[in-house]
Amino acid sequence: MGPFKAWLRWEDDRDPQRQQHDHQEAAMRIHDSVKAAMDEDDELGGTGEWIGLLGFSQGAKVCGSLLFSQQRCAQMPGEQSPKLPRFRFAILLAGRGPLVWLGLGSDMPTGVVGATTSSTALHIGLPPIPLADRLHIPTLHVHGLRDPGLSRHQELLYRCCDTATSQLLEWDGAHQVPTKSVDVLALAKEILVLARKTVDNEFSDGVQRYTRYFSASSILWKFNMIQFSCLAIAVVGLGLALLVVLVRGFQNEFRRVPGPWYTLFADLVLKISVITGRRMYYVDSLDKKYGPYVRMGPNEVAVNDPVGFVQIHKIPKFKKSECQTPSLRKAILEDIPFVSSLLPLRSA
């Protein structure tokens, strides 16, 4: 059977110089293995963003260590960061402490061990990670209550992770992945809750970053040249489209601004004039200034009759397709004044 592989060394190497020399190589091989698995999944048709990690036993230890190294590299600007996505959370099933330092650059932080250290070592006397430096990226820890290594799993939770961002799910099992329906459903529920909570927090943070981003005085410097060029083209295109719409609206004699929109206001003004008793003043004003006929829109004519009633008629023959003769066009566009009903009302 085989071959059998492990994430970490299973026997201790007593040579400190060899451990120091091999640390970076071991960390890099772990990063390369994760990246290779992701690339293979993409090649097989997998889609979507990589957002989390899930591991069991030694794999859980590596998952937590990857998050810790990611967090540490983000806090240290000069730290060399591996070419992996930014993971938002991790599911750690029966993972034992301490965490492994998988950084590629600076010295090893307090409370973690090197990538060449034996995974079975007890690490007696190793101090816990300082509270301010503990893993605060959200984690879900799954512990089997009959697992012989339960105390080591609790060490990972309480000595390496921030309890404010970590959750614990206990189940009646040994050192294995839950298989019973009741345990699997409980685990799936907690995973979904953690994922949704993480996405919601990411969305809120994204909104805040978006607000700060677009309120900064140096907004132009936050774009690279290609992004800025695309934004400039989009803005110019929208401006030209708006200009074309406005020009066509003013130049088209059957769609002059304010055009048909003011006809709606004319109906409203007529109703208001009836309620307020200003209808006669309104009609007199229209008649004195424009005569008995005024064009309120491209297809509407207001008619002031002798007894003072105002009616707005929609006349189909005013449509452009039916105004082909020069005499009819002249009568519609020149002989009947084009006005807004709001202007005479204000002058009355």
Summarize pLDDT for 28-40 with one digit per residue, the tens.
888 888 999 999 9
Secondary element (H or E) of residue 65: helix 58-75
Q: What is the pLDDT of residue 137?
A: 93
Query: Poorest-confidence range of 149-153, 267-271, 318-322?
Result: 318-322
- The residue ranking higher by pLDDT, 23 or 336, is 23
Nearest Cα to 265, choosing from 184, 345, 191, 168? 345
Position 331 pLDDT exceeds 70: no
The amino acid occupying position 100 is V
Distance, in Å, from the CA atom of 86 to the CA atom of 39, rounded to the nearest integer, reads 16
Active site residues: 57, 147, 175
Average pLDDT over residues 280-285: 59
Distance, in Å, from the CA atom of 178 to the CA atom of 54, rounded to the nearest integer, reads 14
Distance, in Å, from the CA atom of 250 to the CA atom of 255, rounded to the nearest integer, reads 7
- How many CB atoms lie under 10 A from the CB of residue 144? 21
- How many CB atoms lie under 10 A from the CB of residue 267? 14
Using a pLDDT cut of 90, give the percent of the chain over it. Answer: 27
How high is the mean pLDDT of the chain?
73
What SS3 state is found at 203? Answer: helix
Distance, in Å, from the CA atom of 157 to the CA atom of 98, rounded to the nearest integer, reads 9
- The residue ranking higher by pLDDT, 5 or 214, is 5
Contact 96, 61 (CB under 8 A): yes
The amino acid occupying position 318 is F
* Residue keyed to tokens 């030209």: 240
Q: What is the pLDDT of residue 65?
A: 92
* Residue keyed to tokens 């708006």: 242
Average pLDDT over residues 121-128: 78
Nearest Cα to 195, choosing from 206, 203, 205, 183? 203
Give the CA distances from residue 62 to residues 185, 222, 223, 301, 307, in Å, rounded to whole numbers and listed in that order.
25, 35, 36, 80, 92
* H helical segments located in 82-224: 150-160, 181-215
Position 312 pLDDT exceeds 60: no
Query: Poorest-confidence range of 84-88, 119-123, 127-131, 267-271?
Result: 267-271
